[in-house]
Structure 1
Amino acid sequence: MKKAFYKTLYLLAYGFWYLLALLPFPVLYLFSDVFYLIMAHIVKYRHKVIGKNLRNSFPEKTDAELHRIEQGFYHWFCDYVVETFKLMTMSREQLMQRMTFTGTEELNRLLSEGRSVAIYLGHLGNWEWITSLPYWVEDSVCCQIYHPLENEYFDRLFKFVRERHDARCIPMQESLRKIIQFGRAGKPVVVGYISDQTPFWWNIHHWIKFLNQETPVLTGAERIVKHTRQVFVYGDVTRIRRGHYNCAFRIIREDTKSLPEYEITDLYFRELEKSIRRQPEIYLWSHNRWKRTRARFDEYFEEVNGKVHLREGKEMIF
């Protein structure tokens, strides 16, 4: 019964998404403007989280400056939502016009040498449209690491949309195995890692100073990159104008195997912070990224032989 319910819900969601995606951009952006008024001024979606994140990230800015960034964020976020809906029906030509890439010559050079590439990205701009990268690179497999949704039907829906333009979705728990399989088959891969998520408590192994705050960071991508000798590339995303983005690729390190532990992660977050400071309104401020603090971690957890354990006598109450 439950399975039939979710399947029906999936079909309804697919139909709604498809019909909405058929609308032209001017109509979708009109919806976005109305959506903005609701989200920013009526519902005030995650207003406290956004305000706290901005104040802590930019203590040097005035209240007026922070307010402008917050309103700019709401405008961009509403656009991002309708742009993601539109992805279901966008053609190759539309995407190549609206989501451009620079630095692909270097990517193609590396791929022609049989080398695989790790592209580090953040929740900046429209990361969903970056799945159009296969149109810009040659003779390779383009894939992205993602967290599968708990609901298998909605996971299938999002996976379908993200793979429409030949970028493959690889579940995080299968990432290393899949990348090694491609390597054994002689296929260079371009792997996208969106690595600015908040790790679970037991996955915290490294802390950095990011946007003026002590921040726990994911390090699993770095282990995969070093193990498979991928070239470390940063994707610097900018919003050129409404509905138009560019991702500029910069090779940060070609030899990643010999790098000290956590250097890839540290370099990535330095690059990401520069991108955010340039266009702060197109970053995902609504995510409660700094909810896990170093003080709480040190109080409740300890790392033993590379694994995080709950301290003796402590209970998970949060």
Structure 2
Amino acid sequence: MKPAELTTMQRIGLEMLWATARLFAVMPYWFKYYIVENVLFFLLFYCLRYRMKVVTANLRNSFPEKSEHERRVIRRRFYRTLAELFVDTVNMAHMSPEKARTVIGVKDLEAHTAAVHGRDWIAMTAHFGCWEYCSYWGLYERSQMLVAVYHPLRSVVMERFYRRLRNFDNSMTVAMRDSLRFYLRNREKGVDGKNLVMGLIADQNPPLRPDSHWFRFLNQDTIFFDGGEKLALRCHLPVYFVKMERLQRGRYRMCFEPIYDGEEEVAPNVITERYVRKLEAMIRERPELWMWSHRRWKRKRPHVNG
């Protein structure tokens, strides 16, 4: 689908936003992560109290076994993550390949590149830590093109801004509604002769359908996007869970854990179930890094009579 045209004022706004982001990105690490991040944290947590009720309710429902004090500690640390995520994202406006390798590394790189070399595959990630850094996978495996599947934003200016951030060497963006058609059209020849890696963020809140499958996730009945599973089964693609590990401010390491080999005979919802279990384990290990401000549980499981 052709992107919406920008008006003159929107183009001016986009270029001003991009120039500001580029200027911020070249500032020293200590200024961005120890001055700006601290100021943002203070504003979000103490002044704006951004979606505080949503965060508090999500933590209470997800961790009923934890004390009120433990949940408050997680909440405070989450707002620190939120502030850092803003810095991480804007920092991508001026990112050389050398710099990108410093912000995101890959655990067991040689083993994974050997496993996926010459193949298309699916990477299922989540809103955990700086998930945007996953766009830099193509720097480590030059024979592959990462296709970041995303939901277009309502604001056409912000839509264009984020597309600029996400389109990097060996990386491109495709709207979710177009992702299946895009893959089927390009799977034989790839893009620029490169194999395709379909990157999916699967922990968002999907529309409720009559056939939606409910999973028990963080003590709550939850539905998940199942597009990754459907694509894997239809096209016999291996699926990997992207586990993110935060090393320090603005620095991460990702690890690819196999979920499905592309050949195994599995029952419906098994691939998504495996993703859900790995995601839950990662969240329980470092709960402050997940996006608790999302209204993840707006939809409730219907009661079935009888």
Q: State TM-score, norm by structure 1.
A: 0.88
Q: Which moved more, 1:146-155 or 1:115-124?
A: 146-155
Please say if residues 232 and 262 of structure 2, whose CA atoms lie closer than 8 Å, have aligned partners that are also in contact. Answer: no
One-letter amino acid of the structure 2 residue matched with residue 193 of structure 1: L
The equivalent residue for 1:222 is 229
Find 1:5's aligned residue among 3, 9, 13: 9
Q: How does 1:137-286 map to 2 (within 5 A)?
A: 137-185=141-189, 187-202=194-209, 205-256=212-263, 258-286=265-293
Could you tell me how far apart the structure 1 residues matched to 2:184 and 2:115 are? 18
Could you tell me how far apart the structure 1 residues matched to 2:232 and 2:160 are? 27
Q: Which moved more, 1:137-146 or 1:67-76?
A: 137-146
Could you tell me how far apart the structure 2 residues matched to 1:66 and 1:200 are? 29
Q: How does 1:282-301 map to 2 (within 5 A)?
A: 282-295=289-302
Give the count of matched residue pairs: 297
Could you tell me how far apart the structure 1 residues matched to 2:302 and 2:258 are? 35
Report the CA distance shift for 1:60/1:280 in structure 2 as closer, same or farther (over 3 A).
same
Residue 241 of structure 2 aligns to a residue whose secondary structure is strand
One-letter amino acid of the structure 2 residue matched with residue 146 of structure 1: Y
Could you tell me how far apart the structure 2 residues matched to 1:242 and 1:7 are? 33
Q: How does 1:32-181 map to 2 (within 5 A)?
A: 32-112=37-117, 114-181=118-185
Structure 1 ranges of 4+ moved more than 6 A:
none
- Structure 1: where are the runs of 5+ without partners? 300-318
Overall identity of the aligned pairs, in %: 29
Q: Which moved more, 1:156-165 or 1:78-87?
A: 156-165
Residue 7 of structure 1 aligns to a residue whose secondary structure is helix
Please say if residues 145 and 193 of structure 1, whose CA atoms lie closer than 8 Å, have aligned partners that are also in contact. Answer: yes
Residue 49 of structure 1 aligns to a residue whose secondary structure is helix
Could you tell me how far apart the structure 1 residues matched to 2:49 and 2:218 are? 24
Could you tell me how far apart the structure 2 residues matched to 1:156 and 1:196 are? 23
- After TM superposition, give the deviation of residue 204 of structure 1 in Å: 6.4
Could you tell me how far apart the structure 2 residues matched to 1:237 and 1:135 are? 17
Question: Residue by residue, what CA displacement relative to the aligned partner does 1:37-74 show, whole Å, maximum 9, x if unpaired?
Answer: 11111111110000000011111101111011001001
- Structure 2: where are the runs of 5+ without partners? 1-5
- After TM superposition, give the deviation of residue 111 of structure 1 in Å: 3.3
One-letter amino acid of the structure 2 residue matched with residue 211 of structure 1: L
One-letter amino acid of the structure 2 residue matched with residue 264 of structure 1: I
